[in-house]
Amino acid sequence: MTERTYVAVDLGASSGRVVAGWLAGGRLETEEIHRFPNGPVALRAGERTVLHWDVLRLFEGILTGLRAAAREHDVAGVGIDSWAVDHGLLDADGALLGNPVHYRDARTDGVPDRVFEHLPAPDLYARTGLQVQPFNTIFQLVAAAGTVQAATARRLLLLPDLLGHWLTGAEVAEVTNASTTGLLDVASRTWSTEVTDVVRDAFGLDVAALLPDLVEAGSVVGTIDPAVLRGEVPLVAVGSHDTASAVAAVPATEPDFAYVSCGTWSLVGLELDRPVLSEASRAANFTNELGLDGTVRYLRNVMGLWLLQESIRTWEESSGRRVDLPDLLTRAEAAEPLRCVVDVDDPVFLPPGDMPARIADLAARAGEPVPQDEVETVRCIMDSLALAHRRTVREASELSGRDLSVVHVVGGGSQNALLCRLTADATGLPVVAGPAEGTALGNLLVQARALGDVDGGLPELRRIVAASCELRRYEPDLGLDWDAAEARASGGPRAR
Ligand code: LFR
């Protein structure tokens, strides 16, 4: 039995994890307690099929993990993080109104433009600093306006806050995740009444009435139900947006770093003291999401390893055999570099589906040589992702006026040596890769600090992360012609 163990609940698009962590000799030791699958569930709703999250199954996985953690450890705190924007609606009795809808569902198609008729995109950006993604909570709510659920709703809770509510009874909105809704004022870190008034007046949905009080990461929000964990265990609001926790765990030692939080998405950007709200930044669709300790996560979403994950799913489903990913990556590394590049941020890649076919189609339309097999497709994905990392790091640097000396890759993608090597070469900067479980580490350290076991700001949290894991360094030494590849890739950022 170890002393003062923190438990991170870290939910990702394809799995949930319950991770225990404790400090020992200036390092954070961790143990994965429980892992459970997650994924979209398509359900008929009238004429449409809607993608949902199975939130009750996730809650069940969390309960199993927490109880297992308590059997082995003296649990001092719990923190929950997940992907952003998605939420549950509660009725006046506090009951959940339907399973939360998955952000990759098509219900928001065309909705941003409807909102911009009432609140022009530049005005919305001036207030929220948020990138336009069709799935931003504001657009999901406008898509839902007029439904029975929206009319009956009395409370909106983002997913980590919803799961925390079921564990403690508390109703709050943690700020890092609230900053992804499109309803938060980026300067004041409070709900924007200007935005919520527009949603009410133009779409008849009184969003302001649904929103709970905001809390900053590091606040204790409640006590875990003793039926789940005995001994008055606090639930700490961590950076409940997974990307906020991941950025807090970037093991940087100098301030001039860029990061790629690389998993289902690649979140590529910088940490700043204040938002960049220029017209150029808006046109490049950079986002100013809120980070720990008053920081801003200035970044753009790159479609990420989702392309690879969905390709593997497609190949496995069609052939009935398991894809050997390490072997495929080794063969992709030996394949011709930059033979075919596509714009990974094309919206065609957002919904689940047959990515190899979509890649082939986009390549053909752009006049690129179409990948002929699995190896060439994987190579195309890796080259194209590295190209998008390059483009995004460079634009972040230009738009913020910050010089960079290193790119940190954290998250599962930090274990993908090919992608890290290509990213170093493409950006012309050394890549420091790791930790793979950055989100859980950031979650755990924010709890440890909130409960008095760590003293200091983000540099101190980062020092502990660096001391706690092995990092790998990749130099830009392949000598590939990324300028030519960039000229061939069809896209670039989409201004709205
Ligand atoms: C990553 C992430 C991104 C967000 C996307 C959708 O897991 O949280 O930061 O843009 O998922 O919520």
Of 297, 256, 260, 269, residue with least CA distance to 404: 256
Give the strand pairing for 15-24 and 406-410. Answer: unpaired
Alpha helices in 240-305 (DSSP H): 242-248, 279-283
Nearest CA to ligand 1 atom 2: 83
Q: Which of 81, 158, 267, 410 to mutate to test the pocket of ligand 1 (most atoms within 8 A of CB)?
A: 267
Cis (ω within 30 of 0) for the bond into 435?
A: yes
Q: Are residues 409 and 261 in the same domain?
A: yes
Of 189, 220, 237, which residue sits at a domain end? 237
CA 263 / ligand 1 centre spacing (Å):
10
CA 296 / ligand 1 centre spacing (Å):
16
Establish if 453 belongs to a structural domain.
no
- In the three-class reduction of DSSP (H, G, I as helix; E, B as strand; rest coil), residue 62 is classed as helix
The answer to whether 121 and 129 have CB atoms below 8 angstroms apart is no
State the pLDDT at residue 492. 43
> How many Cα atoms occupy the beta-carbon half-sphere of 72 within 13 Å?
17
Q: Which of 82, 264, 301, 439 to mutate to test the pocket of ligand 1 (most atoms within 8 A of CB)?
A: 301
Establish if 209 belongs to a structural domain.
yes
- In the three-class reduction of DSSP (H, G, I as helix; E, B as strand; rest coil), residue 190 is classed as strand
Q: Which residues line ligand 1 (CB under 6 A)?
A: 83-85, 103, 241-243, 264-265, 267, 301
Q: What are phi and psi of 213, to 5 degrees?
A: -65, 150
Dihedral sign (CA 385, 387, 390, 396): negative
Residue 355 has pLDDT above 90, yes or no: yes
Q: Report which DSSP code applies to 73.
A: S
Nearest CA to ligand 1 atom 7: 83
Q: Which of the four pLDDT bands, split at 50, 70 and 90, describes residue 3?
A: confident
Name, in order, each residue with C-beta under 8 angstroms of 466's C-beta and a sequence gap of 6 or more.
251, 253
CA 84 / ligand 1 centre spacing (Å):
5
Residue 496 has pLDDT above 90, yes or no: no
The answer to whether 233 and 76 have CB atoms below 8 angstroms apart is yes
- Residue whose tokens read 């929206």: 150
Establish if 407 belongs to a structural domain.
yes
Of 145, 152, 11, residue with least CA distance to 92: 152
* ipTM exceeding 0.95, yes/no: yes
pLDDT tens digit sequence for 297-352: 999 999 999 999 999 999 999 999 999 999 999 999 999 999 999 999 999 999 99
Establish if 452 belongs to a structural domain.
no
Question: Which atom, in ligand 1's list, is nearest to the CA of 243?
Answer: 9
Of 418, 443, 450, 191, residue with least CA distance to 326: 418
Interior CA angle at 410 toward 404 and 415, to 5°?
A: 120
pLDDT (average), residues 243-261 = 97
In b/e form, how buried is each residue of 327-355, taking b as 16+ CB within 10 angstroms?
ebbebbbebebbbbbbbbbbeebbebebb
| CATH code where residue 323 lies | 3.30.420.40
CA 63 / ligand 1 centre spacing (Å):
24
Q: Which of the four pLDDT bands, split at 50, 70 and 90, describes residue 494?
A: very low
Q: Which of 243, 286, 437 to mutate to test the pocket of ligand 1 (most atoms within 8 A of CB)?
A: 243
Element containing residue 184 per DSSP (H, E): strand 184-185
Establish if 215 belongs to a structural domain.
yes
CA 103 / ligand 1 centre spacing (Å):
9
Q: Are residues 217 and 303 in the same domain?
A: no
Nearest CA to ligand 1 atom 11: 83
Q: What are phi and psi of 287, to 5 degrees?
A: -115, 150
Q: Which residues span the domain enclosing 475? A: 242-434+471-496
The answer to whether 217 and 238 have CB atoms below 8 angstroms apart is yes
State the pLDDT at residue 490. 56
Q: Which of 83, 296, 437 to mutate to test the pocket of ligand 1 (most atoms within 8 A of CB)?
A: 83
Q: Are residues 36 and 168 in the same domain?
A: yes
Nearest CA to ligand 1 atom 12: 84
Of 203, 237, 271, which residue sits at a domain end? 237
Establish if 451 belongs to a structural domain.
no
Question: Which atom, in ligand 1's list, is nearest to the CA of 83?
Answer: 8
Residue 367 has pLDDT above 60, yes or no: yes
Dihedral sign (CA 173, 176, 181, 186): positive
CA 292 / ligand 1 centre spacing (Å):
16
Of 484, 387, 381, 378, residue with least CA distance to 426: 387
Query: What is the percent of the chain where pLDDT is above 70?
Result: 98
Q: Are residues 224 and 263 in the same domain?
A: no
Q: Looking at 10, 54, 105, 242, which residue is catalytic?
A: 242
CA distance 298 to 289: 6
- One-letter amino acid of 53: W
Q: Report which DSSP code applies to 284.
A: T
pLDDT (average), residues 154-183 = 98
Question: Which atom, in ligand 1's list, is nearest to the CA of 12?
Answer: 7
Q: Are residues 174 and 248 in the same domain?
A: no
Establish if 61 belongs to a structural domain.
yes
Q: Which of the four pLDDT bands, split at 50, 70 and 90, describes residue 495?
A: very low
Q: Are residues 223 and 313 in the same domain?
A: no
Q: Are residues 345 and 493 in the same domain?
A: yes
Q: Are residues 224 and 293 in the same domain?
A: no
Establish if 162 belongs to a structural domain.
yes
Does 453 qualify as catalytic in the annotation?
no
Of 237, 259, 284, which residue sits at a domain end? 237
Q: Which of the four pLDDT bands, split at 50, 70 and 90, describes residue 489?
A: confident
Nearest CA to ligand 1 atom 6: 84
Q: Are residues 289 and 386 in the same domain?
A: yes
CA 335 / ligand 1 centre spacing (Å):
31
pLDDT tens digit sequence for 83-104: 999 999 999 999 999 999 999 9
pLDDT tens digit sequence for 65-82: 999 999 999 999 999 999
Take residue 108 and report the two structure tokens written for it.
């928001």
Q: What are phi and psi of 43, to 5 degrees?
A: -130, 140
End-to-end CA distance of the chain: 54
Q: Are residues 177 and 270 in the same domain?
A: no
* Angle between helix 137-144 and 193-203 (nearest 10): 20
- How many structural domains compose the chain? 2
Residues linked to residue 89 through DSSP beta bridges, in sequence order? 156
Q: Are residues 211 and 306 in the same domain?
A: no
Residue 493 has pLDDT above 50, yes or no: no
CA 180 / ligand 1 centre spacing (Å):
9
Question: Which atom, in ligand 1's list, is nearest to the CA of 242?
Answer: 8
Q: Are residues 73 and 201 in the same domain?
A: yes
Question: CB count, 10 Å around CB of 253?
Answer: 11
Question: CB count, 10 Å around CB of 59?
Answer: 15
State the pLDDT at residue 266. 98
